[in-house]
Amino acid sequence: MSEHPDPFDEIVDAQTDRDPDLAVIEAGSRTLRAQAGVPQGDAVPARPADPEVDRALREVEADLATRWGETKLEPSVSRISALMDVLGEPQRAYPSIHITGTNGKTSTARMIEALLGAFELRTGRYTSPHVQSITERISLDGAPIEAERFIETYRDIKPYVEMVDASQEYRLSFFEVLTGMAYAAFADAPVDAAVVEVGMGGSWDATNVIDGSVAVVTPIALDHTDRLGATPAEIAGEKAGIIKQGATVVLAQQPVDAAQVMLKKAVEADATVAREGMEFGVVSREIAVGGQLLTLRGLGGEYEQIFLPLYGAHQAHNAAVALAAVEAFFGVGAEQARALDVDTIRKAFASVSSPGRLEVVRRSPTVVLDAAHNPAGARATADGITESFGFSRLIGVVGASDDKDVRGLLEAFEPIFTEIVVTRNSSHRAMDADALAAIAVEVFGDERVVVEPRLDDALEAAITLAEEESEFAGAGVLVTGSVITVGEARLLLGRG
């Protein structure tokens, strides 16, 4: 026997007065968390402390705000292609992993970024929308780009943006300019690999000027149906546009009709396909302190004792997809059969954070934030809350966008909310609180609905309702319905 006892066994032995299964689960989460090294910390930056930098950042934000917002689209990549051309094609300076899907894109992107970083690659990550700060959208080396660098990148490309604006029928949009900034910043860094999340759809999305060697498709569900299609198959047809010739496609579990569309496109592009539940997947998962313990089957073999500090079965599936994407990026399963180093994989997953995704921001009572904004996302969130928290009473705070399936969202949350406080965020797209309340009353009944048009009042009302039970009774608050609602709540609750 080894002279130095295994720390995992030591913790299990010390828990002899507890349920043995619980002791093993807790020991696993504690030892694996300890192996993760320095945690990423808060991935959401505050406003710059330097007043001059803050002023300059506000000027950039104001300048960008004069452009078409992310909900106004002219479906083509002609403008972003023209910008890439005058910038010298920065998006071709590094290999890319391109991510589309309806739900789970940002969490999956963060996991892929952590995995690549653990293997000592310099990473760039581009995701949207942001929770609190616009600089979150562009990350270098696992951290949001510094405000000064964001400003410098904007100033560097601005003359070229104006040149393209003058030559096109429509000016570049807000999202197109940010995409150009991300690709330029990644080339300037320079990064070894870029992890890029589409804004909407796939084929005509501004990000789709990269040649992703790996195309990732997270679960497809109904969202943005006015632009992408009314069925999963129609939406899949649009999202399949990111599949490039000879790429590897990593497919999360999909509705059958969506999967058929994706597979057909993969065949046309002579792409290799890895499907969740076939070539890779979640072998097992157990609740752990602060997250879950997983065994994942990748393209190169099984990876055991993976601690993931995120809640919900959907995050376990995102982890499986992220692992397969990184294996494919390194050629595992195609050029080589061997698995990646399991200790490196463990370290990477244990360091992952995903702000605004079943994120606990307060205790007594527990307040959880989740950016679910469509029925499929809400069902995953509801399952994750039920499994991981076990609240005796849960108060919902919901502020949704006017262009979403709000009834479907509320129906998904109805079984888990004792009461619901309806509100609105500051976005011009936010649904009026009274209009939201009218739908909520139909779903929940009048006696379970409270209306507080201001988000700060809504949070206070929900916390007060949760505190009506004794301190140890297990009541909680879930703030959800929109990324913007979650971001603003995060600031109000002191996490900004």
Q: Could you read off the pLDDT of 145-198 as tens digits, one per residue?
A: 999 999 999 999 999 999 999 999 999 999 999 999 999 999 999 999 999 999
Number of neighbouring beta carbons within 10 Å of residue 337: 10
Between strands 419-422 and 449-451, the pairing is parallel
> What percent of the chain lies above the pLDDT cut of 90?
73
CA distance 22 to 6: 18
Per-residue model confidence (pLDDT) at position 70: 66
Instruction: List, as one string, the DSSP characters of 181-228.
Output: HHHHHHHHTT-SEEEEE-SSSSTTSTTTTS--SEEEEPPP-S-SHHHH
Q: How confident is the model over 46-69, as a mean pLDDT? A: 93
pTM for this one? 0.86
Q: What is the pLDDT of residue 18?
A: 36
Q: How far apart are CA 450 and CA 434, in angstroms?
A: 10
Neighbours of 472 (CB within 10 A): 8
C-alpha 33/C-alpha 294 separation (Å) is 13
Between the alpha carbon of residue 367 and those of residues 394, 452, 490, the distances in Å are 10, 18, 10
Q: How far is CA 229 from the centre of its chain?
A: 22
Q: How many CA atoms lie within 13 A of 331 on its CB side?
A: 3
Cross-strand bridge partners of residue 99: 197, 216
pLDDT value, residue 336? 67
Give the pair of three-digit tokens for residue 393. Answer: 């009473």
d(CA 45, CA 55): 16
Q: What pLDDT band is residue 222 in, cutting at 50, 70 and 90?
A: low
Q: What is the mean pLDDT of residues 371-384?
A: 92
Q: What's the rounded mean pLDDT across residues 352-374?
A: 92
Length of the chain: 496
Q: What are phi and psi of 127, to 5 degrees?
A: -135, 165
Q: What is the pLDDT of residue 403?
A: 82
For residues 267 and 149, give the distance between their C-alpha atoms in angstroms, rounded to a whole number: 41
295 vs 257: CA distance, rounded Å: 29
pLDDT at 307 over 50: yes
In the chain, % of residues over pLDDT 70: 86
Q: Secondary structure of the chain: what % helix, strand, coil (to 5)?
A: 45, 20, 40
Q: Report the pLDDT value the prediction gives residue 232, as an integer from 0 to 100.
A: 84
pLDDT for the residue numbered 334: 63
The single residue listed with the structure tokens 């023209």 is 82
Angle 147-167/174-188 helices, nearest 10 degrees? 120
Average pLDDT, the chain: 88
Q: Strand pairing partners for 368?
A: 360, 478
Question: Is residue 2's pLDDT more than 60?
Answer: no
pLDDT at 102: 86
pLDDT at 19 over 50: no
Q: Is the dihedral of CA 287, 293, 299, 302 positive or negative?
A: negative
